[in-house]
Chain A
Amino acid sequence: MIILVCNSVIYSGQTILRVDLSNDKIEDEELPDFVVEKFVGGKGLATYLMYKEVKPGIDPFSPENKLYVFGGPLAFIYPTFTRTIMVSKSPLTGLYCDSNAGGSFSIELRRAGYVGIVIEGKSDKMKCLKITKEEKKLIECESLKGKTTYEVGDAFREYSVLTIGPAGENLVRFANIVIDMKKNPVTRPGVAGRGGLGAVMGSKNLKAIFLKGWLKPDELAKNVDKNLQKDLINRYLKILQEDVVPGIGVGGNLPVFRVSAEARILPVKNFQAGSHERWEDLADDAWGRITVNRITCPTCPLRCGVTVVENGSSTERIEYETVAMNGSNLMIISRKALAQINTTLNALGMDTITTGNIAAFLMELTERGLLKDYKISWGDLEGYLKLIHDIAYRKDLGNILAEGLARASKTLGAEEYAVHIKKLEIPAYDPRGVVGMALAYATADRGGDHLRAWTVAAELTSKLTLEDLVNLTKYLQDRNAALWSLVACDNIPGNSVRPPDEMIRIYIKMLNTLGFSYDEESFLKLGERIYNLSRLFNIREGVSRKDDSLPPRFHKPREDTGWIITKEDFEKMLDTYYSKRGWDSNGVPLKETLDKLGLLDII
């Protein structure tokens, strides 16, 4: 463990709770100003700590791996900073991974006086972590073994609950971590879906954290100028009302389905095609008609969490990626079926993107006659629901699939049909058509991910040269790394009908009311610093240019349109990107780049 010595604090509660499950040790640890200045909170602090503390080459399921559960400094002082970010070495990819979720957890965490929790070691018995004003302790909870995320949420209804389902306990390598999942939730539940961080929790025998904070906003905002705070809140709420409310439409990111379908970049039959004639059955209007409730995270006026009911099947917070990866991609064009699938996956605690991607892979193998003892056809809902359970409980073929697409496709001898990058299954945008997503996927620090740089909107609104596209990708990756240090919510800039520049300027001003001194340039540099540090973590694990590559499918013409990303075009993008980033031709940050970012004295 590194010993951190501290004399002063930038913001109230720049403290972490370090929890060692091997010996039931729980300690407060104050983070020093020089670290907080450089990494702020959320993704920044967690990435820094993981780089320093998690040794290269360790097994993600070993006690040496750590799980960082972080909020950010603005939560509860300003509205909407509700996301909780989880960072660890991923059991799915073996690399850096962060995944964030909405809900009430990070607000309660800040109200308990912490910016993050570091979970390390491994318990022999199933444990839960309880945090209240009166006590912080690990309690045995064998009785929760095998319980779904809903059951755990319901067992601690008066707390904010962060938990795993059976899939996490069974070390399914794409198990998720959920927040506030329960029957009839009053606040929007959140899901940290990607990279299997739920299985890291499972490997430590930690079922849940339940938490109730006690501090009041003024206790967290001791040094904040009250007039300035009020003014910034008002300006921010006005922007949300004018720019984001119209963009958020029926809630979440469901309007994206229409965009993808019209541009023919929808995943259909394991990315073999890009559109489906009945796509409108799964578009935002169709979901809008069956929306019965919209709930929100504490402090957020946007209410993006939709509850839908179709023919007796209801589900909470259904989102575009879930609908596309499990709907058009599997040829299941039924809202009722998708509500069932979403609830089942959330209850068992499995990533909806990865599971949909794996099922499409199996359906394609079935169609091609490449599976010996198992069959599942396109559109087979019953077969799919059974498969989901088999994966969660590692039964039969489910045991192979629970290892994730990359490992399973190798075992099944069918790697050419597997659509993943760095072992993270690709989400719901076919990059043939919006080529920026190819670069975004290939250079994302957690593997094939769309959230670090979602270039789709820019590609479908303006004319971009190769240089523009590379600059945009880098900008979005850096900007988002900085925003995830606050931790700001992706759904807000992502749904703004205007470029979110003014919103981000306000975020920076909010940060400065706490005692930071960032401007737009240094804020972006903060993101760049974090992005280079997560890259260095991956390089330490053996990543290089060869891994920043596309699955074979995207280098072949698509069946319906002939669209393709040639190897030559892709390598050209990558060269331009490396050079823009100040990385060498193998994708390693140059010494002067690290120096410029203030990383040389850290690594």
Chain B
Amino acid sequence: MVIVVRFYGVLKELVREKLELNIRSSEVLFLDLVKEIIREYPALGNFIKVGEEGVEVRGVSVLVNGRHIMFLGGDKALIRDGDVIDVLPPLHGG
């Protein structure tokens, strides 16, 4: 399946504006997706990473298909084929 992740502000400079991720399974937990992305873009780890308490963020907010992830189960949100994820930048640009 294909998932699109869009980055803004300082994050866009660290990764790029838009990633298209090909994932083998038909759905993936947000938490696992974050692990995947950080493996490819370690610099993002300054802003978002997976620690003992799940996804830890320094400032970024996440929307899935335009809805805030807090309404979709947070770390346990299920991400499916065709989903678009937006990662908003932190307040002070890191």
Contact = CB atoms under 8 A, between A and B. Distances in A.
A560 B60 CA distance: 20
Contacts of B10: 262
A255 to B, nearest CB: 10
Contact of A461 (B67, B70, B84, B90): B90
A470 to B, nearest CB: 10
Contact of B70 (A457, A464, A568): A464
Contact of B66 (A259, A262, A461, A561): A561
B67 A457 contact: no
A37 interface: no
Contacts of B66: 432, 557-558, 561-564
Instruction: Classify chain A's interface size.
Output: 20 to 34
Given A433-B63, A566-B67, A561 B86 contact: yes
B55 interface: yes
A8 to B, nearest CB: 47
A385 interface: no
B88 A264 contact: yes
B39 interface: no
Contact of B86 (A460, A464, A563): A563
Interface string B49-68: 00000011111110101111
A419 B58 CA distance: 32
Interface in A559-603: 561-566, 568-569, 572
A466 B67 contact: no
A469 interface: yes
B70 A434 contact: no
Contacts of B92: 461
A541 interface: no
B71 A259 contact: no
Contacts of A263: 8-9, 61, 88-89
B74 A262 contact: no
A7 interface: no
Contacts of A456: 91
B38 to A, nearest CB: 15
A262 B61 contact: no
Nearest to B60: A460
A31 B52 CA distance: 56
Interface string A271-285: 000000000000000
Nearest to B84: A562
B68 A569 contact: yes
Chain B binding surface, main DSSP class: mixed
A436 to B, nearest CB: 9
B90 to A, nearest CB: 6
Contacts of B74: 465
A456 B63 CA distance: 15
A557 B66 CA distance: 7
A253 to B, nearest CB: 13
Contacts of B67: 564-566, 569
Nearest to B88: A263
Contact of B59 (A264, A462, A465, A469): A462
Contact of B61 (A459, A466, A558, A566): A459
Nearest to B53: A463
B59 A262 contact: no
Contacts of B70: 435, 464-466, 469
A460 B91 contact: yes
Interface string A521-548: 0000000000000000000000000000
A457 B56 contact: no
Given A264-B88, A563-B86, A564-B66, A461 B59 contact: yes
A434 B61 contact: yes
B63 A563 contact: yes
A33 B82 CA distance: 64
B78 to A, nearest CB: 16
B68 A460 contact: no
A460 B59 contact: yes
Given A264-B8, A557-B66, A561-B86, A462 B57 contact: yes
Nearest to B69: A463
Contacts of B61: 263, 433-434, 459-460
Interface in A447-468: 456-457, 459-466
A557 B86 CA distance: 14
B59 to A, nearest CB: 5
B54 to A, nearest CB: 9
Contacts of A558: 66
A302 to B, nearest CB: 20
Contacts of A469: 70
Nearest to B68: A435
Contacts of A459: 61
7 contacts: A262-B10, A263-B9, A263-B89, A459-B61, A460-B88, A463-B56, A565-B67
Interface of B: 8-10, 55-61, 63, 65-68, 70-71, 74, 84, 86, 88-93
Interface of A: 259, 262-264, 432-435, 456-457, 459-466, 469, 557-558, 561-566, 568-569, 572
Given A433-B61, A460-B59, A564-B66, 13 more contacts: A262-B89, A263-B9, A263-B89, A433-B63, A461-B58, A461-B91, A462-B57, A463-B56, A465-B74, A466-B71, A561-B86, A562-B65, A563-B66
**Which 7 A/B pairs are nearest by Cβ-Cβ distance?**
A262-B9, A460-B91, A563-B66, A562-B66, A569-B71, A564-B66, A463-B57
